[in-house]
Amino acid sequence: MADLLLVFSIISIWAAVFQSIVIMWGAVRFIFKQSRKDWTVPGPEQMEHFPTITVMVPAHNEELVIAATAENILRLNYPKEKVQLIVIADNCSDDTAGKLKALKSKEAFRDRDFMIFERTGTGGKSGALNDALQYAKHEWICIFDADAAPERNALFFLVEKAMEDPENYGAVFGRNKARNRGQNLLSKCINLELVTAQRIYHTGLWELFKLGTIPGTNFIIKTDLIRDIGGWDTEAITEDTAISFEILTRGQLIALAPQAEAYQQEPEQLGVYLKQRERWAKGNFSVVIGNLHHLFNRSSWRIKLHVLYYTASYFWFLLAIIISDIIIVMNLIYGFIGLFNPEVAMPFQFADDLYVYLMIAWGLMYYLFVLQINLALATDIGQSTTQNFILSCLSYFTYAQLFLLISLRAFYSMVVDKATGRKTKWYKTQRFEG
């Protein structure tokens, strides 16, 4: 039995290492290609042929951040007459709508197509977006979260990418950066995770397989496509992952526009972080299970690969990490006790050198983990620092292990939901001033 568990762990870690090598290879190719490109940004007067955009911002009790976000959007480098802004003050009990009205009355924004939609209804973020969809009058819809601070050219880069292949690109997404990345140890670790996910995983998957997943913010989607899908799924906890599968199912691609950058707030307290990530993990578990059928029917290879990637990350590799952690930790504990009491033997005894190969596989995984973070940091000017390097080495044993705890809690919560018919409560991430 012990041998079987060990062989399962070794093969699973190989699969994870193989996946990481392939994705990192794609990322390296993408990064080298990007570094040779010359980026020029035209002014709004040169964007006459660009499509019209409806920007939608769902906001639930966001008085701290909403005015700055709306102002950022109104000042984007895009023709004014081609942008419609709808900010949804969703079930607000604070002064979100008041802050928006004050902004709208400013001289600079009086002539703008700017709608403040005060809504009372159910469905959380998805419900708010669905209700606002009926007022969207332009060709593409752009979504920004209420705490987003898009870089001035973010919308231009998203649309420019869409125009490369408007027939096949159903959606385009950009990069999100942590605006509070230096606040404390937690936000520094989240920053490393965000940078690696966006600069290695997103780029690698796009470069090699033209695969993408829209994030919850900083993306555009064809208005007709989202209407055809039936809007945002109010039952899905991670509506962005659910929509991504719907887009791929319709044969459309989700393209990456790496220059479209927006800043967002990340949690600064462990409790807030755990709640947010548990919601994401639970949502992704549900979406993956709901899309498993694609593996066995006539869906395209791209969607099969997408399902496989998620299944491996959320189920297979997770199980392998748990088993290998148990093997290593139990043997370490018993080995330590054995120093004082030689009669105590390690619980997992293996034939020949098998244990050595588990350690080699694990060592490669760890090395790749650190390497990926540091390649990602090198691509983001100012982030490749000694402090971040040390943090990347330590985060595997600390921050990354939280993923285990979060996934197990999310899985348990999902099983309880299914067994008892409990409805998942939508939870909004707490914001901070500044």
Partner 1 sequence: MAYTAWFIPLCRIVSLIFAAAVLVLFIATLVFRRRVNRKYDRRKVRG
Q: Which residues bind partner 1 (CB under 8 A)?
A: 3, 7, 10, 14, 17-18, 21, 24-25, 28, 31-32, 35, 351-354, 357, 360-361, 364, 367-368, 371, 374-375, 378-379, 381, 384
User: In terms of CB distance, is 27 or 83 closer to partner 1?
Assistant: 27
Distance CA 370, CA 363 (A): 11
User: In terms of CB distance, is 133 or 354 closer to partner 1?
Assistant: 354
User: In terms of CB distance, is 205 or 307 closer to partner 1?
Assistant: 205
253-264 β-sheet, strand order? 113-119, 83-90, 53-59, 140-143, 219-222, 169-178, 253-264, 149-150
CB of 215 to partner 1, least distance (A): 25
CB of 380 to partner 1, least distance (A): 10
Distance CA 67, CA 415 (A): 40
CB of 257 to partner 1, least distance (A): 21
CB of 378 to partner 1, least distance (A): 4
User: In terms of CB distance, is 357 or 432 closer to partner 1?
Assistant: 357
User: In terms of CB distance, is 228 or 353 closer to partner 1?
Assistant: 353
DSSP 301-355: HHHHHHHHHHHIIIIIHHHHHHHHHHHHHHHHHHHHHHHH-TT---S---STTHH
User: In terms of CB distance, is 217 or 379 closer to partner 1?
Assistant: 379
Paired strand residues for 141: 54, 221
Place of tokens 């005894």: 349
Pairing outcome for strands 83-90 and 113-119: parallel
CB of 189 to partner 1, least distance (A): 21
CB of 28 to partner 1, least distance (A): 5
CB of 149 to partner 1, least distance (A): 23
Question: Which helix H or strand E contains 293, and what residues bound it?
Answer: none
Asked whether the beta carbons of 60 and 431 are under 8 A apart, the reply is no
Q: How many residues appear in the chain?
A: 434
User: In terms of CB distance, is 34 or 299 closer to partner 1?
Assistant: 34
Residue 332: count other Cβ atoms within 10 Å of its Cβ: 11
- Dihedral (Cα; 300, 221, 67, 145), 10-degree rounding: -10
